[in-house]
Structure formats: structure tokens, C-alpha cells
């Protein structure tokens, strides 16, 4: 619960403001209309994670304004799927930090320290071509305060590489497994290890790969039971799923 909400409820309890006035204040502070976007200011208090900006389709000026607004509310501010040229402009406008591989820009309030959570995520990438999606997942999980181990280039074409990294994977609480081509890696991982597996299909592969549909369907039809599957290239969504799994256990 946010400190502003606590203060408001205390004011009502002491008779400083009426219930009607408090309701109006809550309605006014829940969202902020920036003209081009309505920011959900209470999302962090409601769900445990602040609003994150989806950068694709937005201008650099819009992204910078959204990051500025979130930081002004004392929240860390993250934008995903930001192209390099646009990211450079966002950095100029608001002093954000750009991370090119996961295609992110971010800002934090002065003095902000990310939460240090008791839990770990392993992000497993089948191949080097999957790294942008894998790093999006890894950095988002780190953004939420979880420890992250990266296990890269362990696809099923050289299965011995995965077997050699099993000790690392056993230390994680949740496994995010990223793969393109035929999308077999999550099934293999889920058949070897007991942790929750979040599978991420990528748009990496040849013609019959169909832009990621082939691994998506393979993961949805996995014979290893209980796999969670997110949409094609959705590393951010995989990290959100892992975050909810871990936060719900604590």
C-alpha cells in the first residue's frame, strides 16, 4: 500500500476530510492523463509492479515524457522495444540509460535501490540469435529485483551443452526457456528439472518456422506437463510470469 493512500485513509479516520472528498482524491490520483497516454499511477500499489512503457509505435518524445512522469511519482521507469535511433533521442531528452541488446531504456528516481528479493530466475537461450528476447526477459527479471543466471547457446542440436549446465539450472526457482526453430528446448528442460518453466518461442528460424508459430505450437503441445507458454518474442511477458510465480510464494 502506498504512503499517500495510508495518509489519505488516516485523514478520513481523524475526520480531516470527508469520505466523499477522499473518494474524489482517489479518483483523481489513480491515473494521469498526459494527452497522448493515461498513466496508471496506482499499478505498483495494486499489483506490486509499476507500469512499463511499450516503446514500439511511440515517439521518443512520448517515451521520454512517460519515463519522466513515472520517475516523478517515485517509481522506476522502464520502456521496452525501443529502436536504437529512438533510444538515442530518449537518452538526450531525459537522461535515460539505453541497453541495446534487450532494446530497453530506463530511468530511476535519485537514490533508488531495486528490491533485493530472495529468489532466482535462470534464463536459458537455445541460440545466440535468441539473445535479444532472452536478455529482455533477464533484464526485466533483474529490474524487479530477482537474481538472474544466464545460460546461453544450449539448444537441442548439441544437447550435451545443456546437460553440462544443469547444476546452474538446479539453483534457480523459475526457469525461462527461450527457443526458436522447432521450439524443443522447453520440453527437454521441463523433462529434466522440477521447477516451473516459462517457455518463450522466438521468431528465429527458416521458412516453415512461420515467424515463430512453429515453436509456439510446439511449446503449447509439449509432452512435458505444466509448461507456461507466452507469445512469440515476449521476453518481457515471460519475466512478468516468473515474477508473479516468485512473488506469490513469498
Q: Which residues contact 32 (CB under 8 A, 6 or more apart)?
A: 38, 39, 41, 69
pLDDT at 2: 53
Note the CATH number of domain 34-113. Answer: 3.30.110
The answer to whether residues 198 and 141 touch, using CB atoms and an 8 Å cutoff, is no
Return the domain boundaries, the chain. Answer: 1-31, 34-113, 120-248
Cell readout for 150 is: 544466464
Q: Considering the entire predicted model, what is its pTM?
A: 0.85
34: cell is 498526459
pLDDT score for 47: 78
| Residue 28: per-residue pLDDT | 58
Whether 118 shows a pLDDT value over 60: the answer reads: yes
pLDDT of amino acid 36: 83
Rounded to an integer, the average pLDDT of 151-171 is 95
From the options 3.40.50.1970, 3.40.50.150, 1.20.1250.20, 3.40.50.300, give the CATH code of 120-248: 3.40.50.1970
Residue 1 pLDDT > 50, yes or no? no
Cα gap 130→186, rounded to integer Å: 14
Amino acid at each position: 500500500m502506498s504512503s499517500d493512500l495510508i495518509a489519505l485513509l488516516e485523514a478520513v479516520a481523524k475526520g480531516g476530510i470527508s469520505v466523499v472528498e477522499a473518494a474524489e482524491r482517489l479518483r483523481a490520483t489513480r491515473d494521469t492523463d498526459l494527452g497522448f497516454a493515461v498513466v496508471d499511477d496506482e499499478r505498483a500499489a495494486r499489483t506490486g509492479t509499476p507500469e512499463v512503457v511499450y516503446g514500439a509505435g511511440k515517439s521518443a518524445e512520448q517515451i521520454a515524457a512517460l519515463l519522466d512522469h513515472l520517475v516523478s511519482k517515485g517509481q522506476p521507469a522502464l520502456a521496452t522495444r525501443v529502436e536504437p535511433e529512438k533510444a538515442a533521442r530518449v537518452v538526450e531528452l531525459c537522461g535515460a540509460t539505453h541497453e541495446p541488446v534487450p532494446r530497453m531504456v530506463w530511468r530511476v528516481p535519485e537514490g533508488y535501490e531495486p528490491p533485493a528479493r530472495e529468489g532466482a530466475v535462470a534464463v536459458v537461450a537455445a541460440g545466440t540469435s535468441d539473445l535479444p528476447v532472452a536478455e529482455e526477459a533477464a533484464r526485466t527479471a533483474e529490474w524487479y529485483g530477482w537474481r538472474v543466471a544466464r545460460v546461453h547457446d544450449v539448444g537441442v542440436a548439441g544437447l550435451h551443452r545443456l546437460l553440462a549446465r544443469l547444476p546452474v539450472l538446479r539453483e534457480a526457482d523459475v526457469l525461462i526457456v527461450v527457443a526458436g526453430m522447432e521450439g524443443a528446448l522447453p520440453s527437454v528442460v521441463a523433462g529434466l528439472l522440477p521447477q516451473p518453466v516459462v517457455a518463450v518461442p522466438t521468431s528465429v528460424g527458416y521458412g516453415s518456422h512461420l515467424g515463430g508459430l512453429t515453436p509456439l505450437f510446439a511449446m503449447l503441445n509439449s509432452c512435458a506437463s505444466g509448461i507456461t507458454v507466452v507469445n512469440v518474442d515476449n521476453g518481457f511477458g515471460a519475466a512478468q510470469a516468473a515474477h508473479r510465480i516468485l512473488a506469490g510464494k513469498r
